[in-house]
Amino acid sequence: MSKRVIVIGGGVAGMQTAATLAGLGIHPVIIEKGDRLGGKLLNWHKLFPTFTPAGEVLDTLRRQLKDVEIMTNTEVKRIEQSGVVLNDGRLLVSDAVVVCSGFDIFRAEIKEEYGYGIYDNVYTTVDIERMLNEGKVHTADGHIPERIAFLHCVGSRDEKVGQKHCSRVCCITGVKQAMELKELFPQSEIYNFYMDIRMFGPGYEEMYRQAQEEFNIHFIRGRISEASETIDKRVQIKAEDTLIGRPLKMTVDMLILIVGMKAGASNDRFAENRGIELYPSHFIRPRNQFVDNICSSAGNIFYAGTVTAPKNVGESLNEGVAAALRVSKYLED
Amino acid sequence: MMNYYDHFILPFAIGVTVLFTVILYKWIRWFVRMPQEDRRLVLRGIPTRQTLGAIGEVFMESLLHRRIWRVNPLLGYMHTSLAFGWFLLIAVGWVEASLQLPGEIIPLHAHVFFKFFAPEVDYGITGGLLGNIMDLLLLFVLSGVALAWFKRMRSKALGMQRTTKHVLGDRIALAALWFIFPARLVAESATSGLKHSTTFLTGNLGEWMVNTFGTEAIMHFSVYAWWFYSIVLGIFFVAMPFSRYMHIFTEIPLIFLRRYKVHSYEKAKSFDRFQIEACSRCGICIDPCQLQKDAGITNVQSVYFLRDRRYNRLTQEVAYNCLMCGRCETRCPVGIELNTLRLNSREKFAAMPADNRYAYLSSAADRSSGTSKVGYFAGCMTLLTPKILRAMDAIFKAAGEEVWYADKDGGVCCGRPLKLSGEVEAARRIMDFNRDLFRKHGITTLVTSCPICLKVFREDYHLKGIEVLHHSQYILRLIQQGRICVEHGHNSFTYHDPCELGRGSGIYEEPREVISQIGSLLEVDENRENALCCGSSLANIAINDAQQNRISQALAHELADTGADTVVTACPLCKKAIARNASQEVKDLSEVVAEALGQ
């Protein structure tokens, strides 16, 4: 009888892990808390840097999961040596567990000074992906935006909200969305307020240059300090251009907060298992960051994807393959 | 005349001389160095009722230690027995010595060694009675010493989770103090035994000693016993003015000066010495300190701060590592102005601002327009929490109030953060700018939603003719005057007292009254004067974010335990700090009111 492996989370990392396990003749079970597979990608429009539609990636992954057992609308409460305990108290027995529970999106409301949830025309990058998917990008009262500001590092590298880490992928997300909006509204002025631009992936730096040279998107080094609403519901922002050392004030039609990646809320619950440790950021800390970077201290628990750190889609997919191979090796021994 | 001298009294005599010389030197020096206006306050105060009040307070506090009884009765008893008991031993001892000892002039020290000098110790009826009273008093003091020993081992039984870590000088003085009364008991008993006294304690103990060890042995022993008693007294007295025990004599002038309305203020001055040296290092301030409890910082509490400042070894790290929440100040049994002393210790560390740093304070910094009777100063933190700003807008609108917004389009800081960091002069320049601004726009009422601004407006702005209100006071007034209506719903709220609003400005009732008009109020255990700090205090620029967050977590936990639907506070900084860790919704009072506004 083939061995049974529980995969927690049905995002890209979980799907890739399960698909690889199935290919190796192992019996994976995906436990997904939502009602369908796909995770965050379900809400994404196009992926950087190639502008590949997120749906295409998901379709490919789904095709590989034809015979895989999937439990949707199911949540894991804790991880034990013998398997996982579900929220309804059931114990699912398995030979190994791969944790692919991903990340949470930073709640922009916490940075109250930017007015998300208070002012009509403050959005997050997540909202923009949804609006792009729906094909309805406009201001709250339906106008075409003439001036748009993106703010980088909302909930990343910000001690004041307990998010010291860099979420990595937001820089390129901001560039990508700026380009997409510029294509939609060629007449608009688009500004990106940043403290550093970190272009770590293949093709990212090139895209950043393209955004400036071909799309005429303005990059201003300096974070926005506060936002307020004008009478006509536009957003007035205050910032400092730190390259010229001058404070500046600007009124925009849309302020888009590029929200960072927060450690998954379930990580704390999982860490009740003695074999699972957390970083101070509450992302899960693998046994070591090099040769065992997808392994826990407990022998039969493995990790893939952003549950251990912010990663892009490609990296998460790679980890799915890697984790599956390690599981298979573990089950053989 | 009888000779009241023996060599063994020398250590005692030297000790007493050193003690009073040093104390007099200190007192005179501190008093002379006091600024003219402080000295004038004292001279004016002496012929008033305050002097009588001070005498009463000295009795209640320096002798009975009434405030310590409130912390814990056993701890109170310990202090009373030591202080009041010793005082009575001296007072009754004097009476006993003057009645019983022969000779016209009885030197002051004779009562200390009364049993040694008296020819017959329970001579006559008064002698027997006084002897027994003195035994009883000695027993009273000894019970205090026993408790003090017990406290070293089990401080929790006396209501203290943590006690002070003492320096070497304090340990020497403490050890001497512990030995004084047992030594006195042994010496007096030995002599009583030899002189066939019949008092219940020293008489009986002496009789037993003589019967057990023989007259000759006790005769030899008594000489050593009196020497030992004198030496420990001498050591204690010499150590006293240089150790924590300086508080015994410093608290007395402090009580008088305080009654004469002398206070410490933002700049250090000579009066501070009276407060600093009045600290007994009892350590009652340690337990309430959240830096200790939640952030694991154990060397900055008021007891250590005052000690370091007293011995001129205060470091910047200790001076700045304080939330100035005031929790210790409310518990200090001596009533020392701990926050003010902390504040004025910072000035010497503060950087002098460059000349052009405040060049922006020109008329261009006024971005407001119009005039009105009511002015609203949001403050920087409210501008960063725009929900509060919106709520205040809605409330002003509902009340039909014409408001001049001082800083909606950008304003100048109230100055308190600078003041808290010791930059008193820089703060003054900012305050002057804002005061002129308020005058220019003709307001008669100034409302602010930030308790940090409120405190500085009230205490440092000298806004004669302008009433300064926190928005909780203002909102309550609007409700009472019927200018706004709020609807009572089914929500439950818990209220967090911000340090600057509660302990800092004495505003506890108004926010509670407003909340109770809107829903039910569930209180946390430690509220009002004992409320916890949110950890984000502007006063502490030494701790890091993680430490701030641990303090905030502890508070959020307490608030969650009430089971209330919503946490309400009345300070934008507290709101932000609590929201980071809260499991419930966190709102400012104004938001709750704006949501409950009726027609």
Give the DSSP letter string of B577-588: HHHTT-SSEEEE
Instruction: Tell me whether residues B384 and A159 touch, CB distance under 8 A.
Output: no
- Nearest residue on chain A to B409, judged by CA atoms? A228
SS3 B16: helix
CA atoms within 13 A on the CB side of B571: 27
Separation of alpha carbons A186 and A304, rounded Å? 40
Give contacts of B586 with chain A, Cβ < 8 Å.
none
Query: End-to-end distance of chain A based on CA atoms, in angstroms?
Result: 16
For residue B281, how far is the Cα from the chain centroid? 11
Rounded to an integer, what distance in angstroms lies between the CA atom of residue B232 and that of residue B181?
10
Rounded to the nearest 5 percent, the helix, strand and coil shares of chain B are: 60, 5, 35
Count of A-B CB contacts under 8 Å: 34
Hey, are the CB atoms on B383 and A228 less than 8 Å from each other? yes
The DSSP call for residue B59 is: I
From the list B384, B390, B546, which residue is nearest A226 (CB)?
B384
If contacts are CB pairs under 8 Å, which of residues 82-121 in chain A contact chain B?
A: 110, 112-113, 115, 118-119
Residue A4 CA to residue A281 CA, distance in Å, equals 31
- Tell me which DSSP letter residue B233 carries: H
CB contact under 8 A, B384 and A161: no
CA B136 from centre of chain: 34
Could you tell me whether strands A83-86 and A91-93 are parallel, antiparallel, or unpaired per DSSP bridges? antiparallel
Helix (H, G, I), strand (E, B) or coil at B568: strand
**Confidence at residue B352, expressed as pLDDT on a 0 to 100 scale:** 77
Is B386's CB within 8 Å of A112's CB? yes
Hey, is the C-beta of B579 within 8 angstroms of any chain A C-beta? Answer: yes
Sheet of strand A76-80, all strands in order from the earlier edge strand to the far edge: A76-80, A83-86, A91-93
In chain B, which residues have their Cβ closer than 8 Å to the Cβ of A227? Answer: 386
Phi, psi (deg, nearest 5) at residue B538: -70, -15
Contact A95, A9 (CB under 8 A): no
A159: closest CA of chain B, how far (Å): 6
Q: How far is B378 from chain A (nearest CA, A)?
A: 13
Closest residue to B390, CB basis, from A110, A118, A161? A118
- Return the residue of A nearest to B389 by Cα: A228
State whether residue A230 sits within 8 Å of chain B by CB.
no
Residue B26: how many CB atoms within 10 A of its CB?
18
pLDDT in tens, chain B (599 residues): 457 889 999 999 999 999 999 999 999 999 999 999 999 999 999 999 999 999 999 999 999 999 999 889 999 999 999 999 999 999 999 988 888 888 777 888 888 998 888 877 677 777 788 899 999 999 999 999 999 999 988 888 888 888 888 888 899 999 999 999 999 999 999 999 998 888 999 999 999 999 999 999 999 999 999 999 999 999 999 999 999 999 999 999 999 999 999 999 999 999 999 999 999 999 999 999 999 999 999 999 999 999 999 999 999 999 999 999 999 999 999 999 999 999 999 998 987 777 778 888 887 778 888 889 999 999 999 999 999 999 999 999 999 999 999 998 888 999 999 999 999 888 999 999 999 999 999 999 999 999 999 999 999 999 999 999 999 999 999 999 999 999 999 999 999 999 999 999 999 999 999 999 999 999 999 999 999 999 999 999 899 988 999 999 999 999 999 999 999 999 999 999 999 889 899 999 999 999 999 76
Q: Can you tell me the distance from the alpha carbon of B189 to that of B196, in angstroms, rounded to the nearest whole number?
A: 10
Cα separation, B286 vs B292, in Å, equals: 7
* Residue A186: Cβ within 10 Å count: 9
Fold for B249-261+271-349, please state it.
Fumarate Reductase Iron-sulfur Protein; Chain B, domain 2 (1.10.1060)
Do B8 and B248 meet the contact criterion of CB atoms below 8 Å apart? Answer: no
Residue range(s) in chain A whose domain bears CATH number 3.50.50.60: 4-102+264-332, 108-260
b/e B331-341 (16+ beta carbons within 10 angstroms → b): bbbbbbbbbbb
Residues of B within 8 A of A162 (CB-CB) are 545, 549, 580
Q: What CATH fold (topology level) applies to the domain A4-102+264-332?
A: FAD/NAD(P)-binding domain (3.50.50)
Contact A110 B549 (CB under 8 A): no
Residues 167-196 of B with CB under 8 A from A: none
| B576: nearest CA partner in chain A | A110
One digit per residue, the tens of pLDDT, for chain A of length 333 reads 589 999 999 999 999 999 999 999 999 999 999 999 999 999 999 999 999 999 999 999 999 998 899 999 999 999 999 999 999 999 999 999 999 999 999 999 999 999 999 999 999 999 999 999 999 999 999 999 999 999 999 999 998 888 999 999 999 999 999 999 999 999 999 999 999 999 999 999 999 999 999 999 999 999 999 999 999 999 999 999 999 989 999 999 999 999 999 999 999 999 999 999 999 999 999 999 999 999 999 999 999 999 999 999 999 999 999 999 999 999 998
Question: Is B528 part of the contact surface with chain A (CB cutoff 8 Å)?
Answer: no
Q: Do A162 and B549 touch (CB under 8 A)?
A: yes
Distances, alpha carbon B12 to alpha carbons A210, B32, B113, in Å: 90, 30, 10
Test A161 with B580 for CB contact under 8 angstroms: yes
Give per-residue pLDDT as tens, A51-75. 999 999 999 999 999 889 999 999 9
Is the Cα torsion angle B173, B176, B182, B184 positive or negative in sign? negative
What is the nearest CA distance from A117 to chain B, expressed in angstroms?
A: 9
CB contact under 8 Å between B545 and A159, yes or no, is yes
Fold for the domain defined by A108-260: FAD/NAD(P)-binding domain (3.50.50)
- Test B579 with A115 for CB contact under 8 angstroms: no
pLDDT single digits (tens) A116-142? 999 999 999 999 999 999 999 999 999
Chain-chain contact of B384 with A113 (C-beta, under 8 angstroms) = yes
Q: Are A89 and A78 in contact (CB under 8 A)?
A: no
Q: Are A59 and A251 in contact (CB under 8 A)?
A: no
pLDDT for position B121: 67
Strands A284-285 and A147-154: unpaired
Closest chain B C-alpha to A236 CA, distance in angstroms: 10
Q: CA angle, corner A56, sides to A50 and A57, nearest 5?
A: 80
Q: Backbone phi, then psi, for B141, in 5-degree steps?
A: -65, -40
User: Does the B484-596 domain belong in CATH 3.40.50?
Assistant: yes
**Ranges in chain B annotated CATH 1.10.1060.10:** 249-261+271-349
Q: What is the CA radius of gyration of chain B?
A: 30
Produce one character per residue of B380-418: b if its CB has 16 or more CB atoms within 10 Å, e if not. Answer: bbbbbbbbbbbbbbbbbebbebebbbbbbeebbbbbbbb
Beta carbons within 10 angstroms of residue B436's beta carbon: 13
Q: What pLDDT sits at residue A1?
A: 59
Strands B374-377 and A301-303: unpaired
Please report residues of B whose CB lies closer than 8 A to that of A230: none
How many angstroms separate the CA atoms of B269 and B280, rounded? 21
User: Hunting for tokens 């047992």 — which residue is that?
Assistant: B182
Buried b (16+ CB within 10 A) or exposed e, B366-375: bebeeebebb
- Taking an 8 Å cut-off on Cβ atoms, the answer to whether B387 and A160 are in contact is no
Instruction: List the single residue in A110, A160, A226 with the smallest CB-CB distance to B545.
Output: A160
User: Which one, of A243, A244, A245, A249, lies nearest residue A225 by Cα?
Assistant: A249
Where along chain B do the CATH 3.40.50 domains lie? 356-477, 484-596
CA neighbours closer than 13 Å in the CB half-sphere of residue B208: 10
H/E stretch holding B75 reads helix B73-100
Q: How far is A162 from chain B (nearest CA, A)?
A: 8
Structure tokens at A125: 């990058």
Chain B within 8 Å of A251 (Cβ-Cβ)?
no
Q: Which residue of B has its CA nearest to A281?
A: B546
The domain defined by B356-477 folds into: Rossmann fold (3.40.50)
Distances from the Cα of A51 to the Cαs of A126, A137, A175, B298, in angstroms? 16, 18, 12, 55
For residue B369, CA distances in Å to A234, B271, B551 come to 21, 45, 41
Residues of A in contact with B578 (CB under 8 A): none
**pLDDT for residue B599:** 60
Task: Tell whether B46 lies on the interface with A, counting CB pairs under 8 A.
Answer: no
Token pair 């800081």 in the structure block, residue: B413
Q: B576 contacts in A (CB within 8 Å)?
A: 112
Taking the C-alpha atoms of residue B369 and residue B409, their distance in angstroms, rounded to an integer, is 10
B184 burial (CB, 10 Å; 0-12 / 13-18 / 19+) is buried
What would the DSSP string read from start to end of B390-419?
A: HHHHHHHHHHT--EEESSTT-----SHHHH
Chain centroid to CA B65: 14
CB contact under 8 A, B386 and A238: no
In angstroms, the Cα distances linking B300 to B201, B289, B308, B494, B532 are: 45, 10, 9, 31, 18
Q: Please judge whether A113 and B386 are an interchain contact, meaning their C-beta atoms are less than 8 angstroms apart.
A: yes
Q: HEC string of chain A?
A: CCCEEEEECCCHHHHHHHHHHHHCCCEEEEECCCCCCCHHHHHCCEECCCCEEHHHHHHHHHHCCCCCEEECCCCEEEEECCEEEECCCCEEECCEEEECCCEEECCHHHCHHHCECCECCEEEHHHHHHHHHHCCCCCCCCCCCCEEEEEEEECCCEHHHCECCCCCHHHHHHHHHHHHHHHHCCCCEEEEEECCCCCCCCCHHHHHHHHHHCCCCEEEECCEEEEEECCCCCEEEEEEECCCCEEEEEEECEEEEEECEEECCHHHHHCCCCCCEECCCCCEECCCCCCCCCECCCCCEEECCCCCCCCCHHHHHHHHHHHHHHHHHHHHC
Distance (Å, whole) CA B202 – CA B223: 16
Residue B464: CB atoms within 10 A of its CB come to: 5
Contacts of B390 in chain A (CB under 8 A): 118
Provide the shortest C-alpha distance from residue A179 to chain B (in Å): 30
